Amino acid sequence: MEASAPETTSNCYRHSDRETGVSCSSCGRPICPDCMTPTPVGMRCPECARQKTKVRTAATLTGAPQLTYVLIGLNVIAFLALLASGGGASGRSGSVYEDGALFGPLVADGDWWRIVTAGFLHAGFIHIMFNMYFLYFLGTLLEPTIGKLRFAIIYFVSLLGGSLGALILSPDAVTVGASGAVFGLMGAAILAMRARGIDPMQSGLGVTLMLNLGITFLIPGISIGGHLGGLFAGGIVGYAMFEIADGNRSARMPVLAGSVAMGIAIAIACIAIA
């Protein structure tokens, strides 16, 4: 369930002088940005956000972030397979790592699948723990609000964007991790909040993005191209979905089709650049 966006604006039920197009996902009352509380099931008013008991209905059950759980499961399975193949604690060895990690010269030799598989491999426990934590956090916030299809498109376009960024900035470095996809989700989530009248800085997500960008540039060994590529790809798709398509019903299908086409174009660019 997501916050509804009526065709005409209403005045906030707590601030009668403020117009808003967002309603509480629980009670339906109009709420302005100062009264919105982001939840996994949409925006809620202060009263509904404080409710301890949540009613589980068919609507809320279908809004569970199931795809997020599937993606986390795939990453964990890939990491266990990496360890079982001799990856060790660092995750930078073994047959799974050697056959799936992103490496420009091998992509150029025909190992095109590496632009996808690298996004499911991780270099050690800390690496996968951080990425899965952010994937869970962003997935529970974003997927129930925008739906599984749009969430999946953003995730995989961002993953491919991360691979493209890594191949552009560090083609001869071996790169693994879901960070590109996670950065893309973060950028898309910020744009989704802006489109719904929420200040990303007040929600804490804007600060989280800046901190992670700082870590990207300050700590050696992190793929700058992977993080920036994922962020830009997710940001472009997120802007098209939430700033353009959400305000124009007739543009929704073209935007979805264009987003998928963008992912295909990025995959082709990865192979061409490699």
Report which secondary-structure segment, H or E, holds 19: strand 19-20
At 176, is the secondary structure helix, strand, or coil?
coil
| Degrees to nearest 5, angle at CA 122 with 91 and 269 | 125
Task: Report the C-alpha gap between 40 and 43 in whole angstroms.
Answer: 8
Residues with Cβ within 8 Å of residue 81, at least 6 apart in sequence: 96
Q: Is 227 a residue of the active site?
A: yes
Catalytic-role residue among 26, 163, 179, 223: 179
Q: Is 23 a residue of the active site?
A: no
Task: Report the C-alpha gap between 233 and 222 in whole angstroms.
Answer: 18
The CA–CA distances, whole Å, from 260 to 22, 41, 101, 157 equal 28, 26, 24, 8
Residues β-bridged to residue 39: 42
What length is written for the chain? 274
Task: Report the C-alpha gap between 198 and 208 in whole angstroms.
Answer: 15
Task: Report the C-alpha gap between 198 and 20 in whole angstroms.
Answer: 11
Task: Report the C-alpha gap between 274 and 272 in whole angstroms.
Answer: 6
Task: Report the C-alpha gap between 162 and 65 in whole angstroms.
Answer: 23
Task: Report the C-alpha gap between 228 and 180 in whole angstroms.
Answer: 7
| Degrees to nearest 5, angle at CA 24 with 20 and 30 | 30
**Catalytic positions, please?**
179, 227
